[in-house]
Amino acid sequence: MLIKNVSILQSSRLLPGQDIRIEEGKIAQIGPGLPRERSDEVIEGNGMLAIPGLVNCHTHLAMSLLRGYADDMELMPWLEEKIWPLEARLTEEDIYWGVKLGCLELIRFGITCYNDMYYFPDMTAAATKEMGLRAFISGVVFDMKPELLSQVEPFIHRWKDDVLIRPAVGPHAAYTCSEETLLKVREIAEKHQVMVHMHLSETRKEVDGFLLSRGMSPVEYLDSLGLLNSRLAAIHCVWLSEEDCCLLERRGANVVACTVSNLKLASGIAPLNTLMKAGVNVCLGTDSASSNNNLSLFEEMKTTAVVQKNAYHTPAAFSAEEIWQFATDNACRAFGLNSGIRAGANADLALIDLKKPWFVPRSNIISHLVYSMAGGVETTIVNGRILMQNGIIPGEEEILERAQERFQRLSSED
């Protein structure tokens, strides 16, 4: 495959007139005037910007089926009264079409990899692989369904050698998993060298409960169990002390902020500037489409930047470049991804139409991507395979119809 005459970012500046050759799922060459070979599939990149595929570091992708189902509620009533009862009725077919619906949205937002925690992880993995996306997938683990823990290792064995799917372990949270369960999670993660994907310090109630019952924060509690390390993707991290931030940095843990979801559920604002100054690797996730209500990392970047500026009472709290790193380089660092627009990297990229009003004038492209972007992803490529070209995704209409049918089945039983 040869992408001709496309622009790329070099030191945050636009570098036009570049060709990108893709071979065997990797970027083989980048430069102007690369020769066309007879076997090349050619994509015309004139007027386009090639960006590294974005990484959505926290989703429950099948919950795309529940978009708009239970809005405007606080977290625990939302979970206990609406989400958990409906989830009890989910079938594998619901998961299959819910995941495919979510994959459509990810592809349209230039997201080439995501990190997921939910029920029926094998079905999530199979649907994702069919759609062609890269993913870290874990089945959710918590004590109210103890059988889920025994399913973790067999799932890891089934998917550990896959090119696109990386299995992980997904304990739901410290308040839904016993110490015994969390120690078993640590044992599995260490044995198989896989990521641990876990909600942490999401609400004030959670943190206050741990301080009262254990005399330590949830972060300190996980550290006491040996779970605070570079394999941990700690999700939300809204209610952190400065000591928590420093502890996360010392252990090399990764924090995934989900600003829009946290704001919508009124859970609070994560202390991202404090985390950054402590040296913690901060990434971005959207959470599910049932609490966000979309999967756009462009919206997540802008909202995160603007909210953090206000939380720290200074517009200098974050730069557009720092926020862009959250969705690209920091995410790749957290998950060990070989990504980027460079020779030797995985061919995971998106082409964005620069002929849109929000990219003019061409004053600061990174700023436009973070603060102005309102659409324009035209082509998405993962592992050298075109998933969307010129805004067209094969099979999209059927996925939309089937997803609607599955939601109607689920909601009709309310």
Domains of the chain with bracketed CATH: 2-52+341-396 (2.30.40.10), 54-335 (3.20.20.140)
Whole-number pLDDT of residue 79:
82
Number of H helices, E strands in the chain: 17, 17
- Whole-prediction pTM value? 0.96
Cα torsion through 85, 87, 88, 93, rounded to 10? 150
Give the count of beta carbons closer than 10 Å to the beta carbon of residue 73: 17
Cα torsion through 156, 116, 394, 337, rounded to 10? -70
Whole-number pLDDT of residue 318:
86
- What letter does residue 340 receive in the DSSP assignment? S
Averaged over successive runs of 10 residues, the pLDDT of the chain (414 residues) comes to 97 94 97 92 97 98 91 82 85 97 98 97 98 97 95 98 98 97 98 98 96 97 98 98 98 98 94 96 96 96 97 92 96 97 98 97 95 96 98 98 93 70
Whole-number pLDDT of residue 174:
97
Candidates 92, 96, 89; CA nearest to 64 is 96
Candidates 160, 152, 165; CA nearest to 126 is 165
* Residue keyed to tokens 């909600």: 199
Whole-number pLDDT of residue 414:
54
Query: Which pair of structure tokens corresponds to residue 274?
Result: 């404090």
Burial classification of residue 48, based on how many CB atoms lie within 10 Å of its CB (0-12 exposed, 13-18 middle, 19 or more buried): buried
CB 27 within 8 A of CB 21: yes
Whole-number pLDDT of residue 413:
63
Q: CA–CA separation, 336 vs 346, rounded Å?
A: 12
Whole-number pLDDT of residue 121:
98
Query: Which pair of structure tokens corresponds to residue 179?
Result: 């110490």
